[in-house]
Structure formats: structure tokens, C-alpha cells
Chains A and B, each alone.
Chain A
Amino acid sequence: MSTDDREVAMEPSPIAPAAIARTSPQSIAMMRRRRLLRGIGRQALLQALCIFVAITVLFPIVYVIGVALDPRNIARPDGLNLIPPNPSFDAFSRAIAKPSPNNISFLTLAFNSLKLAVATSLVSVAFGVSAAYAFSRLKFKLRSFLMIAVLAVLMLPAVATIAPLFVLLNGIRVGDFVLRNSIPGVALALISGALPFAIWNLKGYLDTIPKDLEEAAAIDGCTRNQAFIHVILPLAMPALAVTAFLGFVAGWTDFYFSWMFLDHPQDFTLTMALYAMVGQYASTTPWNVLSAFAILVSLPVSVVYLFFQRWIIGGLAIGGVKG
């Protein structure tokens, strides 16, 4: 602020030199002091506002960590203990040892969630990137029709296709194996939404890669496939990583398909256990264990998100997410 004022004052103007000439050294010092005080007051106001916003943002996060670290092992918090004395990780070890009355270990739950996350991520990116390339670079009949078909699917929330997916996947059986009632079945349901999103998101990024690079490759004798693999794919790495990560999050945090489709406890996922803790087992689940469990579920996703947020939010701005 102060530097700017000086700049304005130094602008050549017919009044300014006379005004400066008339002011005594004392009044200049007073003006400086007043300006300094005004700067401090303004900074204090800005800091107060920022700190207030920061407190509202941090409150639920500090709260849930505080409940998880409370050493007293009580079923419900008896007050607002944001920073509990003598924090302990007991709740975390209990959340890992026996997260639900089902006797399914945390590792089994996490492994099932991981399978969903990896399958959704890999399939949607691997199949999506070639289709995105075709939409971005090639001219063909039905191009706009197919693109609209992909967009129309994106507009629908995932919940809106759950009834037909349930019935159709339920019909695919080999002996006792029912595709609906299995991790691969849930993964297929997730991919049905993640793949159109991946196509749309990757197309948006491929559109920003200059065509000149492929032209240069063509002149050097590359075929279309070689240009795609050796020129486009390496350049699209950031977008591929972001799309893969968003697919991973979709699988890791999926709730409605797993909750709807899976019957066998050994197939259950982390989010299902989490929901059971606030749903059917709410009365018997201590909140410190629940909080520790919630932190453990969100930690892998949140940490990656936090470190790569600049790229991820950029990717989001191009594509938009299917809710």
C-alpha cells in the first residue's frame, strides 16, 4: 500500500511539487507515522478475518483428530476437547484391529477398497485415453454424436443407473458366483461412470497439446500410432496421472454401489464399514474409534490430493466430476 502511495505521489502533476515544498519536515514525519499506523491497522483487520476463516476451516479437522487422540477411551466426547492432554493412538489401533462387529479386519476392508480403486483407475484411464485421442485429433462420422452420448452420461448422477446395473449384473452367474455380489461387479459399475468421465477429462487436456508436435513427428516418418505413443502419451502424463487419481478416489470412496451390491462380509469395503459405524452400529461404536477410522480412510487420498492439488484442481476445472 505504502509503496503505491509513493508512486502516485511521484507522478508528475502541477500541484504535487508545490504541496511537498510547503510541508515541513515534522509534518512529513507525522504523515509517515499515520500511514504506518494505518498499514498496521489494515494488516490487523486482514489477519483477524483470515484467522477467523482459518478457525472455521480447521475446527472440524482439529475436532475429529482431537476425538481420535483422546486417551480416556470414552464412548462419547464429554465436552469440546480440541487438543486432548496425553494424546494416545489407542483408538487407531482399535480401529485397525476390529473396525466393525463383523470380525472383518481393517486390512481386508482396505484391500477390497484398494482393488476397487486400482481397477477403476487403470481401466478408465487405459481405455479412456485412446478414445479421448480419437475425439481430440481425428475426424470421423458420428464424432459429435458419440461425444454428446458421452456428455449425456456424465450429466447423470451415478445413483441414477444403479437399478439397471444391479439387475443386469445380478443376471451374470457362473455356478455360485454372482457378478453383482463381487468386487469385480462393483468395479464394473464404477467403471461405467468413470470411463466417460476419463474420456471427457482427457480430451480436454489433449486439446491443449499443440498439433505441431505430431506434424513434426509425421514429417520424421512416424505413423499415427507411434506419434500417439511416443509424442502424445508422454506429454499427457500430468492429465493421465490426475485422471487416474480421480478414478482411484472414486473407487476408494465408493459407497452406494458396494453397499447395494455386496452381501458377503469378506467383500466389504472401508466406506461400508464407516457407514455401518454411523448407521446400524451407531449405538455401540465409540466415537474415538469412529474418528480414527475416518482419518485412516481419508488419509491416503487426502495426502496425495494435498501435495498435487494444483494439478488436480486444474484437471477438475477442465473436466468436472461425476457426482
Chain B
Amino acid sequence: MSAQAKATYVPKRRLFGADARVAFLYLIPAFAVMAIITFYPLVFQVWMSFTAFGPQNLNLKHPAPLDWVWLGNYIKILTNDISGIPNYDFFRIVSFNLFWAFSNVIIHLILGVAIALLLNQKGLLGRSFYRAVFVLPVVIPPIIVATVWHNMFDQSNGAINYLIAIIGRQPPGSVNIAWLTDPGNPIPFFPLLPLSYFALLAANVWLGWPLNAVVATGALQSIPKDLYEAVEMDGGGAWTKFRYVTLPFLRPAMLPYAIYGFVITFNLFYLSFIMTNGGPFGRTELLVTQAYRLVNQQQLYGVAAAFSVIMFFILLTLTIITNRLTKATASYVD
């Protein structure tokens, strides 16, 4: 259909009459449901965050009078004054959470791109076999991954310690590294990272790079072959090809995905909650796991609501910063 014909047959964008009335009908089912179970709870959460809502307020027949504490919950959270949580330190949790997300995403990106390049090598035998194997971590639910790695890093019967014993030619059971509970600092004078951080990192690197490799493979396949030939004609080697052809093409595809991966890793619940249980001494606690503990174990509903509101603002700030970064780099690439 030519542009001319289109203009004659469809003079306006409205094909089927009034959009607004139809839109209302199409939106009402979803938004009626979300108004009740998505948006109203969020408003209620803000209201709750100004109260000392606790289990005593849950009884419907004889509810205890509600204590208004206004900003009290927020002050408690930021000044580490929550009773009942040992080793709680808000700024340590935020710093650890940021470090956790950054370190993971950088490793995922580098490994994902490197392995995608490896799979993209000309004449590689068994390419489709490797592709099928490498995508396996993606298809396993994260709660299962967390459970399996929890056992693999077990101190006395874990597969990792057995493996180290085999590599070191020692009898099984002779290596007793307390991966998940050791309170020492593997990096001297840097108490932010206990040994369990590295165990979590190993599990999440296993879990995280394959999806990056899939995205990078897609981007690699979109690079025109003649660009590489042009570099070859000009006498450029492998590094020149990577630096001036591959990288500029990968960047726009990988950057949005890296940001998405950052948010996912920042909020990754299962590994911290199941593998280390936040330990040792709460040092691998993330914002999401701490929020869950406040509700599930301490039943401090008001404090938990305030904690979630703070979390929302942290995520909002991160989203704005990452959006700026994307735009800044996008204009640099183009």
C-alpha cells in the first residue's frame, strides 16, 4: 500500500471511532485489579510507614490503638536503632548491596562478551552443543540454584571443599573452609567483604553470565562481515578488529542489558537469603533480604514499610543515574 493510498483510505489515525471510550473498556479490567492489589497497597505502605504498626494491630476484633510515630521509623532505620535485629547497619547494607551489584554486573559482562566471542570464532567445532550447554544456568529457577550452591559450599560435606581436596591431592574431608560462616576478612582491613561474599559471587557468576552471552551473541551476529574484511585489508590485527569494530557494535546492545542486570542483581533475594542467610553477622544482607526479615521475622510492619519507601528512593536514584549514563554513553558512541 503506497503512502498516497494510505492517506486516502485512512484520513485520520482513528480507525474504529472514538479511541478514548474503547481505551477505557480495554484498560478497566487490569486497572481495576491493580488499583486494589498493586496501587492501593503502595499508598497504604506510605501511611503505614508513619505508624508503629505491629502484630498487636492485626487483631480485627480488638485492635490495639495505632501509634503514630511520624518519621520515627525512618530515623530508627537510618540511625541503626531497630531493636531485635543483631548486626543491623543501614549504610553497611547499602554499601555492600551496591558493591555486590557492581562487581557482579562487571564480571557478568566481561565473561558474557568473552564467551560469546569464543562461540563466535570461525570454524569452531561443536558450536551448537556448547551453546545448548552454556544456556543451562538460565533455565534453572534461582531458588533451586541457591539451594544447590548452599550445599556445595558446606563446610564439612560441600562439593567445593571436596574439589579443592582432590585438586590438592589430599583425602576428602581434609579441607574445611567455612565458606558461608567464616567471620574473617579475606582482604585484610576491608571488612565489607567476608568470605561468604566470594561464595555468593561464584554462584551468581555461574548464574549470570550465560544470559549476557546470549545478548552479546545476538549483537555479534548483527555486525556486518565486510567491516572485519576492511580492517584486514588495512593490515589490522585481532585487537584492532575488536577495538574498532566489535566493541562499538556491542556497546549499544549490552548497555541497556547491563543496567537491567544491575537492577536484577541489586534485588537478588534468593542467593543471600538461602545460601548465607545474610551471614556471617549480617554482612551479606541485602536491602531486599533485610526488608523481608523485618516483616517475616521481626513483624515490624511499620518499620518494614518505611524501609521499603527508603528502598524505593534508592532504586529511583539508581534508575535516574543509570539512565543519565546510558544517554551520555549513547551520544558518545553515535
Residues of A within 8 A of B (CB): 1, 4, 8, 39, 43, 46-47, 49-50, 53-54, 56-61, 63-64, 76-80, 123, 126-128, 130-131, 133-134, 138-141, 143, 146, 149-150, 153, 155-157, 159-168, 170-171, 173, 188-189, 191-193, 195-196, 199, 212, 214-215, 218-219, 223-224, 227-228, 249, 252-253, 255-256, 259-260, 271, 274-275, 277-278, 287, 290-291, 294, 297-298, 301-302, 305-306, 309, 313, 316-317, 320-321, 323
Q: Is the CB of B269 within 8 A of A323?
A: yes
In the assembled complex, the Cα of A90 lies from the Cα of B41 at a distance in Å of 46
Known: A8-B232, A162-B296. 11 other contacts (CB 8 A): A57-B210, A61-B140, A138-B19, A150-B34, A161-B45, A164-B41, A164-B48, A168-B44, A195-B33, A317-B257, A323-B267
For B172, what are the chain A residues with a Cβ–Cβ distance below 8 Å?
78-80
Q: Is the CB of A64 within 8 A of B148?
A: yes
In the assembled complex, the Cα of A127 lies from the Cα of B29 at a distance in Å of 6
Return the CB mask of B191-229 against A: 1 if under 8 Å, else 0.
000000000000000100011001100100000000000
In the assembled complex, the Cα of A64 lies from the Cα of B137 at a distance in Å of 13
In the assembled complex, the Cα of A106 lies from the Cα of B122 at a distance in Å of 49
Tell me whether B125 is interfacial, beta carbon within 8 Å.
yes
- Stretch touching chain A among B7-15, B243-251, B324-332: B7-15
Q: Is the CB of A138 within 8 A of B30?
A: no
Which of B30, B157, B159: most chain A Cβ within 10 A? B30
- Stretch touching chain A among B76-84, B87-95, B128-136, B182-190: B128-136
Give the distance to chain A from B207, nearest Cβ to Cβ, in Å.
10
For A155, what are the chain B residues with a Cβ–Cβ distance below 8 Å?
263, 315-316, 319
Q: Is the CB of B214 within 8 A of A131?
A: no
Which of A46, A155, A188: most chain B Cβ within 10 A? A46
Tell me whether B291 is interfacial, beta carbon within 8 Å.
yes
Known: A167-B44, A192-B34, A253-B141. A60 touches B149 (CB 8 A): yes
Q: Is the CB of B138 within 8 A of A77?
A: no
Q: Is the CB of B159 within 8 A of A161?
A: no
Q: Is the CB of B41 within 8 A of A80?
A: no
For A78, what are the chain B residues with a Cβ–Cβ distance below 8 Å?
157, 172-173
Give the distance to chain A from B3, nearest Cβ to Cβ, in Å.
12
Give the distance to chain B from A295, nearest Cβ to Cβ, in Å.
8
Other-chain contact of A161, B22, B23, B150, B308 (Cβ < 8 Å): B308
Q: Is the CB of B143 within 8 A of A253?
A: yes
Tell me whether B240 is interfacial, beta carbon within 8 Å.
no
